[in-house]
Chain A
Amino acid sequence: MSERQLFRRLLRLLPFDFRADYGRDMEQVFREQHREAGGRWARAGVWFRAIADLAAIGPREHLTQLRQDLQYALRGMRGNPGFVAVAVITLALGIGTNTAMFSVVHAVLLRPLPYSDPDRLVALYNNMDGNPGLALSDPEYLDYSERSRTLDLAAVSTASVNLTGDAADSERVLAAGVTTTMFDVLGVHPVRGRGFRVEEGTPGAPDVVVLSDWLWRRRYGADPSIVGKTIVVDGSRHEVVGVMPERFALPSEFGAGQPVGLLLPIAFDRTAPRSRRGGHYLVAVARLHPGVTIDAASSEMASVLAGLKREYPDQHTQANWIILLRPLRDDLLGPSQPIVLTLLAAVGLVLLMTCANVANLLLARGEVRRRELSVRTALGASRFRLIRQLLTESCVLSFAGAALGLLVATACQRLVLMVDPSTLPRVADMQLNVPVLAFTVAIAAGSGLLFGLVPAVQISRDSVIDAMAAGRRGATDGMRGRLRAALVVAQVAVAVALLIAAGLVVRSFVNLVRVPSGLRADHVLTMRVSLPLARYPAQQDVGAFFNRLLDRIRTLPGAELAGAATGLPLSIGSGDWSFDVEGRAIEGRRHFGAADWYAVTPGYFESLGITLVGGRFPAASDEAAAGAPAIFLNQTAARSFFPAGDAIGQRLKVTGGDQPWRTVAGIVGDVRHRGLDRPARPEMFFPLAQFKHFSPTAQARALTIVVRTATEPMALAPALRAALREQDAEAPAAQVRDMVSVVSTSVADRRLTTLLMGGFGALALLVAAIGIYGVMAYHVVQRTREMGVRLALGASPDDVLALVVGQGMRLVGVGLAIGVAAAIAFSGLLTRMLFAVAPRDAATLVAAPLVLGLVALVACLVPARRATRVDPSIALRIEL
């Protein structure tokens, strides 16, 4: 590099215009200094001084220039409060909603999982035809973990437990049974005490428990000496051996509404025979050994499974059974990803519209400022200088918008949290933290450049032309008019596409809440009660307790009907259980069929308003344990297993243990138990007193009481709790809710996306309306003279109105056409968010453009009416 080139490089430290104005002169002076310096050391001194000098002056000059531009921008804005208010508020809406949405993306998707080296963690499932993503059974867990050399396995299974026996009220919390390997696999250990020892995962080991941070704080007052004390879990004493760190969450807690309060070790009898391999309830997570890829581990597990299939051929009859390994991150966050990203894209489009709006406002303002800018050009300001000045102004606007947008973002976050965000994992952790604020700054700067650049280039060109020679305005006016028209068209197109998307999502939600659930949710109060094994050892004890409690509840004033079941529609489900039917062939299958199972008491179906399709409802006679064993089916089960319609009177027997043959006594209507958006599955119902669990040591001991009330259901809640205390002072009442809120909670995730999409659609409509109004209003002012001439020459006000509205609506029409076409082209992207609505739903494709068209019409009419009121004599005197 020559010395000259080197000096030129150094000059880049200075602002562009400084360089442009004086660069050559500086170079010349430097050359002369350099030439006159005698000797190498003197020349080096010249170089040194020049470098130090430029390094000191460069930043100072940049700052000075920025300060000047800012002062100039602020001075200009003070004179235009209306323009500034509209621009800043529009930008605040755009930037604020984007900031809020990004805080959701950051909280849900971008943060690492709260485990050490989370990239090595995988979720592990059985996967087979008809049963994808099946959890593991005890023998499967043991075999998979003992035979694998590529990964360490852990598993979790959650259930609610009763906490009793200390100063605090008895209560029900979610407990996680975890394998003793869980802490090592996740790489997270208790902050106080220790995790579980291997021997604590065997039958007969002393009962130990690890508390979660929140339960330790809330129930035990953050007792620093809790480790070593005992607490009563489900009626038996457990020693607290550890407390987990704050914010720890098991993989099973992602997207689950209820946090886990305590961890209990799962005990395995490793010596027991493993030939019965059913009972899939363990959700597995594994850590890959160092250097092992997920593919290598998958192929190892495939050979492990092949060996097990050879050993237990009758236990692996399902087709295409594989062991599926999936990165844990994808497993936990994958389902949320498309929804969150779709919402971010939608809100991003709103920001683009906002930018188009402000760009249009700036173009219109450029017209007004033309003279001022021409004067500056004439006084020697370069075009680059003008562009930079104009961009500084637009960035000042966008940063003011961003500052106000932070308030908008906070409001949006509050709104999201209000709509029960438990279904979107980790969303409750969203904050305006450093990465989110960095995003805000980036989109503010990006927006400022985006909406500022085109007007700046355009306006500066005009100013330069104006300064050189007047009289060339026609050409640039035309170009600018076209630019503004294009911005309106683009804005309308984006708005209508967003509105269609919002319309589809809203319609989906309406369809969803209108879908017949199969039950009457109004005037129903529910309460979950779980009885401890210690005091209710047999199923009969449990049955007797609930029947006593229900009899008492039925006498409460305001209670009309009452019943109980092990599940609750849309809230507490169950797994399936296979059965055989007397006299029916099973044709190569292991059993005749399988259905989800529940134990119920008399009054359960009636209280929930579930219809009787055939036979009878469960009756008091079924509660006599000695009575003839009965079973009840839902309509789907009856139809799919007895298509001839002869279900009543058939005898069936569920598998495992010494189960009796049970006679189908009744068929009840279908209920969408697992979600309003999922069709009913086959279900069977056992009378509670006759129920025998497939696991010989287990009973159905947690039931949900449902009470149909004459009045507002929650008004009965205190009486219901009192009735429970009367029967058993230690049995805690949990989840006391009315059924309407149960239904509402079940659609909370869809409500959130609907609310957000609907909100973005409304925002798009508003921004488009402001944009169209702004352009048309400006258009009318510009053409005041022309309107005057037309009116003077005999045009009627209606003609003028039609002219202005027609021009505006032509642009709107083009935008609508483009937007609808885009919506049709990209309709597939929304499929995941829709329910019972086609992505190209004709009604929405017509209604959305219609609504936007009407709003646009109003936005055109207001300025058009102003045009008709132009006084020709005044208009003709205006010299434009």
Chain B
Amino acid sequence: MTKRRNPDECLPLTPAMFEVLIALADGEKHGYAVLKEVERRTDGNVSLSPGTLYAIIRRFVSDGIVAESDERPDAALDDERRRYYRLTDFGRSVAYAEARRMETALGMARAKSLIPKARLT
């Protein structure tokens, strides 16, 4: 456990996985909140079902990318039964590594003029 893990080992992520990481990037959330956030951010283009969502969470938890959070919001806002998840430091570095990977890929596509530059700025 003391060995530092290389985030690149977890790459590449599927689009759904990356969306979940982004959804958790600004703070802990429970499953349904993640789902709604992804839906909202992608204008409903990415719609996760419970099975897919929790298969991703399960894998992230086992890889140490995401952890269950002990902190809870105010009791009034919280449903006792819900579990909250947060990004671990390692998870953050995985998200960063994936973003970098995509950025590199984009750079290459741009260099080969596959993508009009105007749309990227």
Contact = CB atoms under 8 A, between A and B. Distances in A.
Contact of B31 (A29, A50, A60): A29
Contact of B81 (A24, A26, A50, A61): A24
A33 interface: yes
Interface in A627-685: none
A21 interface: yes
Contacts of A54: 49, 51
A25 B49 contact: no
B55 interface: yes
Contact of B58 (A21, A27, A52, A53): A21
Contacts of A22: 54, 57-58
A18 B55 CA distance: 8
A29 B52 contact: no
Contacts of B47: 49
B58 A28 contact: no
A781 interface: no
Interface in B37-67: 47, 49-55, 57-58
Interface string B90-110: 000000000000000000000
Contact of B51 (A24, A26, A32): A26
A57 interface: yes
A56 B51 CA distance: 9
Given A49-B49, A50-B49, A28 B32 contact: yes
A53 B50 CA distance: 8
A49 B48 CA distance: 9
A810 to B, nearest CB: 46
A845 interface: no
Nearest to B34: A29
B55 A61 contact: yes
Interface in A48-103: 49-50, 52-54, 56-58, 60-61
A12 B57 CA distance: 18
B41 to A, nearest CB: 17
B49 A53 contact: yes
B61 to A, nearest CB: 8
Contacts of A18: 54-55, 58
Contact of A25 (B52, B54, B55): B54
B87 interface: no
Contact of A57 (B32, B51, B81): B51
Given A18-B58, A32-B32, A25 B83 contact: yes
A30 interface: yes
B88 to A, nearest CB: 15
A28 B51 contact: no
A57 B35 contact: no
B82 interface: yes
B51 A14 contact: yes
B32 A26 contact: no
A29 B58 contact: no
B98 to A, nearest CB: 20
Contacts of A32: 32
Contacts of B54: 18, 22, 25-26, 29
A641 B49 CA distance: 97
Interface string B64-80: 00000000000000000
Contacts of A14: 51
A53 B81 contact: no
A582 B62 CA distance: 103
Given A49-B47, A53-B52, A29 B35 contact: yes
A60 B81 CA distance: 28
Contact of A50 (B30, B51, B58, B82): B51
A53 B56 CA distance: 13
Contacts of A57: 51-52, 55
A54 B55 CA distance: 10
Contacts of B51: 14, 26, 50, 53-54, 56-58
A60 B58 CA distance: 13
A844 B20 CA distance: 74
B67 to A, nearest CB: 11
A61 B30 CA distance: 22
A58 B51 CA distance: 9
Contacts of B58: 18, 21-22
Nearest to A57: B51
Contacts of A27: 50
A18 B32 CA distance: 18
A60 B56 CA distance: 12
Of the candidates A18, A29, A30, A49, the one having the most CB atoms from chain B within 10 angstroms of its own CB is A29
Nearest to A10: B51
A7 to B, nearest CB: 9
A737 B49 CA distance: 81
Contacts of B83: 25
B53 A29 contact: yes
Nearest to A54: B51
Contacts of B82: 25, 28
Of the candidates A18, A33, A60, the one having the most CB atoms from chain B within 10 angstroms of its own CB is A33
B47 to A, nearest CB: 7
A49 B39 CA distance: 15
B55 A30 contact: no
A28 B55 contact: no
Given A50-B50, A54-B51, A57-B52, A29 B57 contact: no
Nearest to A24: B81
B102 to A, nearest CB: 24
A27 B82 CA distance: 11
Nearest to B30: A25
Of the candidates B32, B53, B83, the one having the most CB atoms from chain A within 10 angstroms of its own CB is B32
A28 B49 contact: no
A28 B81 contact: yes
Contacts of A50: 49-51
Nearest to A22: B54
A29 B33 CA distance: 9
Of the candidates B32, B50, B54, B81, the one having the most CB atoms from chain A within 10 angstroms of its own CB is B50
A29 B81 contact: no
Of the candidates B54, B81, B83, the one having the most CB atoms from chain A within 10 angstroms of its own CB is B54
A800 to B, nearest CB: 43
A70 B10 CA distance: 20
B50 A33 contact: yes
Nearest to B56: A57
Nearest to A375: B1
B108 to A, nearest CB: 31
B81 to A, nearest CB: 7
Nearest to B83: A25
Of the candidates B47, B49, B82, the one having the most CB atoms from chain A within 10 angstroms of its own CB is B49
Contacts of B52: 53, 57
Contacts of A33: 32, 35, 50
A29 B55 contact: no
B109 to A, nearest CB: 30
Given A18-B58, A25-B31, A57-B55, A30 B50 contact: yes
A61 B52 CA distance: 11
Nearest to B35: A29
A25 B47 CA distance: 17
Contacts of A28: 31-32, 81-82
Nearest to B1: A379
Nearest to B79: A28
A446 to B, nearest CB: 31
A50 B50 CA distance: 7
Of the candidates B47, B55, B57, B81, the one having the most CB atoms from chain A within 10 angstroms of its own CB is B55
A397 B82 CA distance: 41
| In the complex, the 9 A-B pairs of residues with the closest C-beta atoms, listed nearest first | A53-B49, A26-B50, A53-B51, A22-B54, A57-B51, A29-B50, A54-B51, A29-B32, A30-B50
Given A22-B54, A26-B50, 11 more contacts: A18-B54, A24-B81, A25-B50, A28-B31, A28-B81, A30-B50, A33-B35, A50-B50, A53-B51, A60-B55, A61-B55
Interface of A: 14, 18, 21-22, 24-30, 32-33, 49-50, 52-54, 56-58, 60-61
8 contacts: A25-B30, A25-B54, A28-B81, A29-B31, A29-B32, A29-B35, A29-B54, A57-B55
